[in-house]
Structure 1
């Protein structure tokens, strides 16, 4: 059994989705692990990870609007020290989730044809987010 771990630093431009698929795939290919599981953890409470369609940008725009409807900005939150997007960002991160686990075969993630890995930034301001990747398996 082999293991490898790394931390990706992902710059964001504010609210939106950043495709992590190529970055994770390159790292995974370099680990020498052919079969196993790769886990990803977003180390933040106002950003999250998701697997969604990677072909149509309209999907991500619709997701952003849906998240904004579910957790709107406003004055109804007690936790607002960092601005009106603070608490809604925490709520949206609960919906997108902090982690993903993906099976690996032949040294590649077993994502579907139209699936990609995305960091969801839920704050308006640009950030540098950390995503920890860990793979365990056999060569």
Structure 2
């Protein structure tokens, strides 16, 4: 297993981490790799990393879940972040061939920050 950290700079932020994930995969690896974020207010997704689409993704998550009005907000004010991360999910399992992620042409591995800015821990397990 390899672990790395990603620093985010906005409350809702989608970042392309494909290169960091691929660098964590051993050169002789074949099979699958699981990418997992160790937080309940962040997620991992696979999609296209085109900048306008990433902005659309952030806007979609903002629109899909109201910022306030949730019971958990009485505790620490970030229920919206937990709910957005629940929509995305904490991990993705991807195919690996000869140490390379076997992604489609436009697919990238994305870290989805829902409660930033923060430092997030990502695990890569082959």
State TM-score, norm by structure 1: 0.84
Over the aligned positions, Cα root-mean-square deviation in angstroms equals 1.2
Q: What's the CA shift for 1:63?
A: 1.2
8 Å CA contact 2:27–2:98 kept in 1: the answer is: no
Please list the CA deviations of residues 29-50 of structure 1 after superposition, one character each: whole Å capped at 9, or x if unmatched.
Answer: xx23331110011110111000
Flag the structure with higher strand content.
1
Q: 2:122 is matched with which residue?
A: 131
Instruction: Output aligned runs, 1:51-90, within 5 Å.
Output: 51-54=46-49, 56-74=50-68, 76-80=69-73, 81-83=75-77, 86-90=78-82
1:25 alignment partner in structure 2:
22
Give the Cα separation in 2 of the matches to 1:119 and 1:32.
23
Structure 2: state its 5+ residue gaps: none
The whole-number CA distance in structure 2 between the counterparts of 1:43 and 1:100 is 13
Alignment partners' CA distance in 1, 2:15 and 2:35 = 14
8 Å contact kept, 2:38–2:123: yes
Query: How many residues are paired up?
Result: 124
TM-score of the pair, normalised by structure 2: 0.92
Matching residue within 2, 11, 15 for 1:6: 2
Hey, which bits of structure 1, 4+ residues long, moved more than 6 A?
A: none
Q: CA deviation at 1:61?
A: 1.1
User: How has the CA–CA distance of structure 1 residues 106 and 32 changed in structure 2, closer, same or farther, with 3 Å as cutoff?
Assistant: closer
- Structure 1 distance, partners of 2:63, 2:117, is 22
